[in-house]
Chains A and B, each alone.
Chain A
């Protein structure tokens, strides 16, 4: 079939639109990357667009020599690993019984859980609960309150329901307990889905900062995102001055603008791990969203 002229015009415009979209999505990162390796002077003069000017990596040297960054990186990795492990265990423990039709009380439990998707105690009552539990200013205040995302548990339950009942029944007839069925049959068959949900959780932990802001009093426990917030958004002078000491600065005028180069470099340092990983994991996410949308 021949394409009409209108169709061809549309296709050209659509193509241009998509290219523009990609530019708009990527440009901020390329710009930040270029600024982070440019000299303070050219940044100040607004001469940096896409190509760095006065190339240097002083800002990165300063950041990598600064122990707060390393410490917060380590904190983030710790919270992400511990948090995701708790998330996955709890989500599976909830999803498997709910996927079993012979689980008496399933309806009531589902309602108890679903209510929390539409109504919650809110910020302050949750904060007070954490305080009463005595886990304020500990890692548990970060990893326990969000131990289960109801949405993710429903997605996982749907995955589990897709596994043929015959497999479970056969195992039970062979004398396996429910725990064994979960560990030996259900889990091995759902590795890809568990990976998907695990990545949902992990990216959430990696990017989280609000809970840390609320629940940590001790700043040495801060995750990377919160330190990033102090430096980039709040212009925290203590952190900035400490960073500037690590930079080689010739004169007073440059000292002013070095703060900006540093901010760009800090953004890059915190974004790079995600930028490297995301092209490979995004398809799992897409799959998860699609399953969630079918059985939301």
Chain B
């Protein structure tokens, strides 16, 4: 920052005036921006203020302000309930499987696609791999459910063809995580590879030439040039992913789980949905949701700090 420069009162006055004139000149920009700001206040910041009901016993007739404070009672109720551990475990495990199996998949695909010659085959393969990204989770889950059906589903038909008994996959908790993770990979591998392919095109071709001159084969080129070249992208994506280790979205799980699979399938967000919107226990479910997002913030901050220390790539 250096030495502080002292401004005279007149200079300050002039700077203020110039700023004011700038604002006046650009008044239309503020007119344009006003609805945007109002949008963010109403739909993003008002709900953030609404989080206070997590510390209250919310009563719809009294309204948020008049409802009595209860401190951390809602949180205590959650941690004392039999569900707390199960929900945290399920949320963590589902996203952890997503991390170890789902995260590397698009990177591998991008590396393999990168080895193909540019042309129609590469283009068509890519286009086909993007397909699931454009379909709704209802369609994807609907197809999956029909594939898993015991009497007519494809997977069970294959089992039956090999003389195995048919399994009702979706009512047994032990299959849920595998099914969910597998679906995530199928639906996300193609689309996820785009960002790495973009990073791959940014790798300097001269580096490859230098490596070839030094006698490096394809494998050495991949390890010493390609992977370091896309490492910053991988790091950023990994930070984002770790930041989401406790944020599993409710919608896809809602489509696939049943009460019989809650043991492994029920996650914090689906629990918040059920308790909050179906049982209308607003304060309690807001507390559970707040717990979830605070943990998520902490995870993201830790991941970001670690990555900053390691090698200068960070989100902020």
Contacts and interface: CB of A to CB of B under 8 A. Distances in A.
A177 B30 CA distance: 12
Interface string A263-276: 11001001100110
Contacts of B147: 28, 31
Interface string B16-27: 000100110010
A39 interface: no
B272 A97 contact: no
B154 interface: yes
A124 interface: yes
A226 B276 CA distance: 20
Name, among A210, A264, A279, the residue most crowded by chain B CB atoms within 10 Å (CB to CB). A210
The majority secondary structure among interface residues of chain B is helix
B306 to A, nearest CB: 17
Interface residues of A, number: 89
B45 to A, nearest CB: 8
Interface in B78-96: none
Given A46-B160, A278-B134, A129 B46 contact: yes
Interface string A247-280: 0000000000100100110010011001100110
A10 B218 contact: yes
Interface stretch (A58-66, A109-117, A159-167, A190-198): A109-117
The majority secondary structure among interface residues of chain A is helix
B282 A128 contact: yes
Given A18-B112, A93-B35, A263 B138 contact: no
Given A128-B50, A228-B139, A123 B289 contact: yes
B130 interface: yes
Interface stretch (A77-85, A143-151, A238-246): A143-151
A120 interface: yes
A197 to B, nearest CB: 15
A177 B28 contact: yes
Given A123-B289, A286-B194, A100 B26 contact: yes
Contacts of B251: 209-210
Contact of A296 (B44, B236, B282): B236
A274 B135 contact: yes
A179 B138 contact: no
B146 A282 contact: no
A218 interface: no
Contacts of B285: 123-124
Given A18-B112, A233-B141, A120 B39 contact: no
A116 to B, nearest CB: 4
**9 nearest interchain CB pairs?**
A121-B47, A125-B50, A207-B136, A178-B28, A94-B36, A232-B142, A122-B289, A125-B47, A97-B29
